[in-house]
Chain A
Amino acid sequence: EVQLVESGGGLVQPGRSLRLSCTTSGFAFGDYAIAWVRQGPGQGLEWVGVSRNKASGGTRTEYATSVRGRFILSRDDSKSIAHLQMNSLKPEDTAVYYCTREEFDASETWGQGTLVTVSS
């Protein structure tokens, strides 16, 4: 069974950093791009970025305009895990963060999400 499990969420002060992890199982991690999507309280979905697999070629990571320069995506194919490093956090970054497995450039499988709250 394909599974993605996010961890690392919590309460953090504005300006600080937090690293989320996406631990996966049940599929060949290295064959897939992993994307992150967030959803603020009562809000819609917002695409955060994607960590592409080696076979995709081109740029390995892409980011939403709202997080570019502050967030960093990485992946460890040997451990089937992806990370989202979030720096210089702002209150508007408060959201549930989902990691997703990409297929045909769509988020085919989703984790349960982890809540990040940015507040003093």
Chain B
Amino acid sequence: DIQMTQSPSSVSASVGDGVTISCRASQGIGSWLAWYQQKAGKVPKLLIYGASNLQGGVPSRFSGSGSGTEFTLTISSLQPEDFATYYCQQSNSFPFTFGPGTKVDI
């Protein structure tokens, strides 16, 4: 199975800050990477697919980049509603696997 790691595991930030979350795959996955946001007690929400494609309705302050084994999710200017846990997921090969998550809090 492809192992996904994320760093940092948690980050403290303020409204208006820029935040970058890293995701690394144990082997190359091309651009088959998605990012999800999960707020406390809520259902996960797809933000980005194909490493850099913004899902419809997702604010443009979210962006994704990378290919191969190294990926990043960037939030350009944190808003109050962005405090959540973020997960990456590879879909290059079965079984698909998630990263352990990065919690963004105040």
Q: Which residues of A contact B (CB under 8 A)?
A: 35, 37, 44-47, 49-50, 62-65, 98, 103-108, 110-113
Contact, CB under 8 Å: B49 / A47:
no
A sample of 21 cross-chain residue pairs with beta-carbon separation below 8 angstroms, ordered by A number, consists of A35-B96, A44-B85, A44-B100, A45-B36, A45-B38, A45-B87, A47-B89, A49-B95, A62-B95, A62-B96, A64-B95, A65-B1, A98-B43, A104-B49, A105-B49, A106-B50, A107-B34, A107-B36, A108-B55, A110-B43, A110-B45
Contact check, A44 vs B101: say whether CB atoms are below 8 A apart.
Answer: yes
Q: Which of B27-70 contact A (CB under 8 A)?
A: 32, 34, 36, 38, 43-46, 49-50, 53, 55
Cα A63 to Cα B97 in complex, Å, equals 11
| Inter-chain contacts of A63 with B (CB < 8 A) | 95
Interfacial chain A residues near B97, Cβ < 8 Å: 47
A20 to chain B, nearest CB (A): 16
CB nearest neighbor in B for A44: B101
Q: Interface digits, B60-92 against A, CB 8 Å rule (1 contact, 0 not)?
A: 000000000000000000000000010101010
The answer, among B38, B91, B95, for a CB contact under 8 Å with A106, is B91
| Complex Cα gap A98–B87 (Å) | 15
Choose one: B1, B46, B53, B99; the contact of A107 (CB below 8 Å). B46
Most buried by A among B44, B50, B85: B44
Which residues of chain A have C-beta atoms less than 8 A from B44's C-beta?
37, 45, 98, 107, 110
A108 to B96, CA, bound (A): 15
Q: Are A104 and B95 in contact (CB under 8 A)?
A: no
* Pair B55/A47 contact, Cβ less than 8 Å: no
Q: Which of B34, B43, B100 has the most CB of A within 10 A?
A: B43
A49 CA / B95 CA spacing, docked (Å): 7
- Interface contacts beyond A65-B95, A103-B49: sample of 6 additional A-B pairs, CB < 8 Å, sorted by A: A44-B99, A45-B38, A49-B95, A62-B96, A65-B1, A105-B96
